[in-house]
Amino acid sequence: MSTLITNIAELTTQDADHRVLKNAAVVIEGERISWLGAAADAPAADQAVDAGGRAVLPGWVDSHTHLIFAGDRTAEFEARMAGEGYTAGGIAVTTAATRSTSDFDLTRLALGRVAEAVSQGTTYLETKTGYGLDVENEARSARIASTVVDEVSYLGAHLVPAGLDAEEYTGLVCGPMLDAVRPYVRWADVFCERGAFSGEQSRRVLQACRDAGLGLRVHGNQLGEGPGVQLAVEFGAASVDHVNYLSAADVDALADSWSGWDAGSGSGGATAHRGTVATCLPACDLSTRQPLAPGRELLDAGVQLALASNCNPGTSYTSSMAFCVATAVLQMRLSVHEAVRAATYGGALALGRESGRDVDGERAVGSIAVGHRADLHLLNAPAAAHLAYRPGVPLTHAVWRAGVPQPVR
């Protein structure tokens, strides 16, 4: 079955050539994009959808979320808004609630959050474990996550549970816990931050997870300057996320990690050296009242950037990628095109899903090109600029995920 979407006022491809097409059309065949170009040149298809002069983007790629949880942290949020500082300790509140919730209810809650995100244009999602923090519950979280999202990251190194020795717990994360989650995850992450895991503990986790064949990610430099960025670059991590407090050396290290990459070709080709993506989480920055990550400085230095929601119960309880894009434009000084690219292609790059290599049998996401997965976001607006021009207004008109129309609230 093929579907022609025509009468598109503006088609933002985010492909290798950064094309923005006017008066365009796209053809979906199965789960893939089979054609795109001028509406006047569109081929016939089994069915047609009139976009009505609206804009089409790639679906959002949300490369950093924490969706497997139960419980509520409204009181913590209210206290923070009243002036209390943010620490990592609130994770323990969610851990207790998550451990006491059944598999059925954890799955139901996670599926609801995924549906909420998809209805706002998100078509590819990563999520993490990290609210189980013992072998049984981390494995359970990983198993549930693998049934509800596209990519799963192991975050046993989220926080040292109260009453446990940090070194002993790090050993658990690197040994039995890693073995238990391994069948369900593609990535490993570590919260390298004061109050969480030290640089040396983070190094142990990254080494063990790399030895186990997992791709690497790092929570780094959220609450102050620290070793997170440097460790991420040293280990060749796919991304380092938060990046609020960066030294000049950190920015240089991230920029240097992309020095062998052919930015003009998008993916740089199968043998090109790829660097560490800097993932900015602006909704989290606002909720924790941290300085916004220096996205403009990073882009100007040549660092590849992603935007993600960081949807979690403590510091960023939103699944709205449009909100993150608007914030990046209005407060981080990104252009609309740069922000949209970071929230689509940048997220795909952070997850290693940007190219057409059909990794693990999956097509490239985060851009609109022939052969890529048909993840499309139709806005109720004539241009992508309305995402920042009309902040807070729900603009999602229709969504296709792997070629399948999705419910929109």
pLDDT for 268 equals 39
Q: What is the pLDDT of residue 299?
A: 98
Q: Answer whether 158's CB lies under 8 Å from 91's CB.
A: yes
| CATH annotation of 60-361 | 3.20.20.140
d(CA 194, CA 221): 9
The Cα–Cα gap between 13 and 369 comes to 7
* Nearest-angstrom CA–CA distance, 337 and 12: 9
Element (H, E) at 217: strand 215-220
Cβ-contact 304, 275 below 8 angstroms = yes
Query: Is residue 309 within 8 Å of 367, Cβ to Cβ?
Result: no
pLDDT in single tens digits along all 409 residues of the chain? 999 999 999 999 999 889 999 999 999 999 999 999 999 999 999 999 999 999 999 999 999 999 999 999 998 889 889 888 776 668 888 999 999 999 999 999 999 999 999 999 999 999 999 999 999 999 999 999 999 999 999 999 999 999 999 999 999 999 999 999 999 999 999 999 988 999 999 999 999 999 999 999 999 999 999 999 999 999 999 999 999 999 999 999 999 999 988 755 544 343 357 899 999 999 999 999 999 999 999 999 999 999 999 999 999 999 999 999 999 999 999 999 999 999 999 999 999 999 875 555 678 999 999 999 999 999 999 999 999 999 999 999 999 999 999 999 8
Residue type, 395: L
Q: How many CB atoms lie within 10 A of CB 103?
A: 11
The two three-digit tokens of residue 38, written as one number:
């001028």
Distance of CA 97 to the CA centre of its chain: 25
The CA distance from 267 to 273, in Å, is 10
pLDDT at 297: 98
CA-to-CA dists, residue 164 to 168, 172, 290, 294, 314, angstroms: 7, 11, 29, 36, 22
Q: Sign of torsion, CA 110 113 117 120?
A: positive
* pLDDT for the residue numbered 92: 85
CA angle (146 as vertex; 140, 149 as ends), nearest 5: 130
- Contact between 374 and 33 (Cβ < 8 Å): yes
Instruction: Look at residues 106, 100, 96, 98 and name the one whose alpha carbon lies nearest to residue 147.
Output: 106
Burial class (CB within 10 angstroms; exposed 0-12, middle 13-18, buried 19+) of 1:
exposed
Distance of CA 226 to the CA centre of its chain: 22
d(CA 42, CA 57): 18
Domain extent listing, the chain: 2-58+367-405, 60-361
Question: What are the start-end ranges of the E strands in 269-390?
Answer: 277-280, 305-307, 376-379
Provide the pLDDT for residue 321: 98
Which of 154, 141, 134, 139 has its CA nearest to residue 92? 134
CATH 3.30.1950.10 is the classification of domain 2-58+367-405: no
Question: Would you call 10 helix, strand, or coil by DSSP?
Answer: strand
At a CB cut-off of 8 Å and minimum separation 6, what does 24 contact? 8, 10, 11, 36, 37, 38, 39, 56
Q: What's the pTM?
A: 0.96
Q: Which long-range contacts (CB under 8 A, 24 or more apart) does 91-95 make?
A: 91/130, 91/131, 91/158, 91/159, 91/314, 92/159, 92/161, 92/162, 93/314, 94/69, 94/70, 94/131, 94/313, 94/314, 95/131, 95/132, 95/133, 95/159, 95/161
Structure tokens at 98: 């998550």
333 Cβ neighbours under 8 A, 6+ residues apart: 295, 296
